[in-house]
Structure 1
Amino acid sequence: MKLCCSPSRLATDATARPAASSTRGCDATRQTAALAIPGGQTYLGTNRPYFPIDGEGPLRNKKVSAFRMDATSVTNAQFRAFVSDTGYVTDAERHGDSLVFQGLLLKGTPPSPAIADAPWWRMIRGANWRDIYGPGTADRQIDDHPVVHVSSNDATVYAAWAGGRLPSEAEWEHAARGGLGDVLFPWGDREPNDTDFQPCNIWQGRFPHQDLGLDGYVGTAPARSFAPNGYGLYNMVGNVWEFTSETFKVRSLKKEVIAAHAGKKGFRLSKGGSFLCHQSYCYRYRIAARNSCSPDTSTSHTGFRLVYRAELLNWM
């Protein structure tokens, strides 16, 4: 497994953690702004898997009910409102550290532990959703960028406060396809490249040493950037990974698959890839691509967006 995606903490404890002091913020403005996603028959997975070991295939038919989805991932400003209302403390803050891509660290950052199989990931003391590169870097946080250094535990608590929930994998893929059917990307099948086509925020250049930033960004982009897909959703691939409501499961009896995912019981499934993905290394900005991490893991390239009941507006 290529660990550019999401290395995980060794220890996970999804139960021994405080809840937010308020469990229902019910941000009506945010909910009413969510976009309607039609229900019906849809696709899940692909018959063109690039990482079969991740369980990307085969292509299956699924039926989903109509729902509403945020046009963007949750932003720093929105998460700050949640923390202000509830006093919530994230997993990264409780642990005292979080994973930061080395290329984002500021000059003068103290030495830090590297992930053995992916040394471009550093465990930075004091990194969290406020101080995204470590202590004293809160001024680098931008309100309209996706919140990062949040775990799936944190996302679940936020969702309850906001009156929504994390999407299932089928809902997420259905929304990402934007009505186009069996396609690789939210805009169709045309591949992004390092020359003349950058429809999303991914890596351009030689990973992990040089990101050319040809798409306009090194690191995260604003949550509402690039062209939306057919359902009006922004950055369904690239920018930041997005948590789903599901645990990561690969149904296979092959020894190599079982070995690759050993020790991942209870890991959460995320979708969409991030600004660190590139076809030469982590080709996971495809709709069918999948990723996993422990419930308390947080990184500088993972966030989330919410879905809501389709009938929400009938009672607000």
Structure 2
Amino acid sequence: MADRPQADQDGSRPGRTEHCRAVKSCCSPSRKAPTDAAAPTPRPVQPGKAVVERHVAVIPGGQALVGTNRPVFPLDGEGPLRRKKIKAFSVDTAAVTTARFQAFVAETGYVTDAERMGDSLVFQGLLPKGSPPSRAIAETPWWRVIEGANWRTPFGPGSAERPDMDHPVTHVSWNDATAFAQWAGGRLPTEAEWEHAARGGLGDHPFPWGDTEPDDSGFFPCNIWQGQFPRQNTARDGYLGTAPARSFDPNGYGLYNMVGNVWELTSETFKVQSLKKAVAAAHAGKTGYKLSKGGSFLCHRSYCYRYRIAARNSTSPDTSTSHIGFRLVYHASHD
């Protein structure tokens, strides 16, 4: 995907850091409510019979660190740093790929939320030149509602581009990820499990590799934005969109892309424990939204600084986009 052209379709003004810090939906738009109130909840699926290769790492139990005492977005509930006791578990070393998801669909006939609803959200910079006009999300106009976009056709049915089988599957919702987990014999991680795994044994650091900040010129430890968001992505790290699920250096537990590349869904509902009116206002209307972690290829320090372990995001359970994926955890014996 490194050679996909950067499109500029809607004339929207570049975003500003202060806007992102005030408006918490800047990183990931949400459907907010199903486009069809009668849309059925995806049906449960049975454990899979097909043999699908998976690579896991065993993560030791103990006192997991969650959050930070140096929050960048306090309204998101990034702080304070706290400890939570967890049991040992196994986790996918990389996000679930399109190939794994395809095997799931082939065996079960599962239909994703994006396929049911007829559209999904695509970042404008990933759309091929000459793409037909599309509707923008008002608060974040770089996100486009693309009819027919889904995990099979990530840029719409008229695009010649097809998903890379070794990249994280995208255009899947929390509902879809939960159904896949039932089939694969795993589950989505809790926030504590995800952060514990992401830290790779290093302890209280903002990134899986430590404290060194990525930049736009020479240090590219993960797949994030380089340049001016949302206008220009120089792709100095090699990718305009997603990178292969097993790319860049793994962390101390052997896990790839725990930050950057795609947001990763968790099992938890997004909640912020606070009595402050500003917190309630920032997250009004998010009842039932799900928590995701890790940031994506669209993150940049100047705008959406969420490629940090403590960063948090929320979307409705039926939302699908071109930068949300997931990985699973299992009982520690599944190694």
Fold shared per TM-score above 0.5: yes
Matched with 1:221 is 243
Structure 1 residues 158 and 138: CA distance shift in structure 2, 3 A:
farther
Matched with 2:331 is 309
Shift, 1:140, TM fit: 2.6
Asked if the contact 2:263–2:293 (Cα under 8 Å) also holds between the matched residues in 1, the reply is yes
Structure 1 residues 166 and 79: CA distance shift in structure 2, 3 A:
same
SS across alignment from 1:159 = helix
Matched, 1:40 2:74: no
Matched with 2:209 is 187
Matched, 1:163 2:217: no
Matched, 1:209 2:209: no
Matched with 2:116 is 94
What is the Cα-based RMSD across aligned positions, in Å?
A: 1.5
Match of 2:289 among 247, 267, 275: 267
Matched with 2:46 is 23
Structure 1 residues 26 and 46: CA distance shift in structure 2, 3 A:
farther
Q: What TM-score do the two structures reach when normalised by structure 2?
A: 0.90
Asked if the contact 2:224–2:300 (Cα under 8 Å) also holds between the matched residues in 1, the reply is yes
Asked if the contact 1:41–1:62 (Cα under 8 Å) also holds between the matched residues in 2, the reply is yes
Count the aligned residue pairs. 311
Matched, 1:109 2:131: yes
Matched, 1:69 2:91: yes
Shift, 1:29, TM fit: 5.2
Q: 1 CA distance for matches of 2:38 and 2:198?
A: 28
Extract unaligned runs of 5+ from structure 2. 1-22
Provide, for residues 207-232 of structure 1, a one-character-per-residue CA deviation record: whole Å limited to 9, x for no partner: 00000001111100000000000000
The share of aligned pairs that are identical, in percent, is 70
2:47 aligned partner, one-letter code: R
Asked if the contact 1:27–1:163 (Cα under 8 Å) also holds between the matched residues in 2, the reply is no
Shift, 1:108, TM fit: 2.0
Extract unaligned runs of 5+ from structure 1. none
Structure 1 residues 11 and 205: CA distance shift in structure 2, 3 A:
same
Shift, 1:17, TM fit: 2.0
Structure 1 residues 139 and 119: CA distance shift in structure 2, 3 A:
closer
Q: 2 CA distance for matches of 1:26 and 1:195?
A: 47
SS across alignment from 2:220 = coil
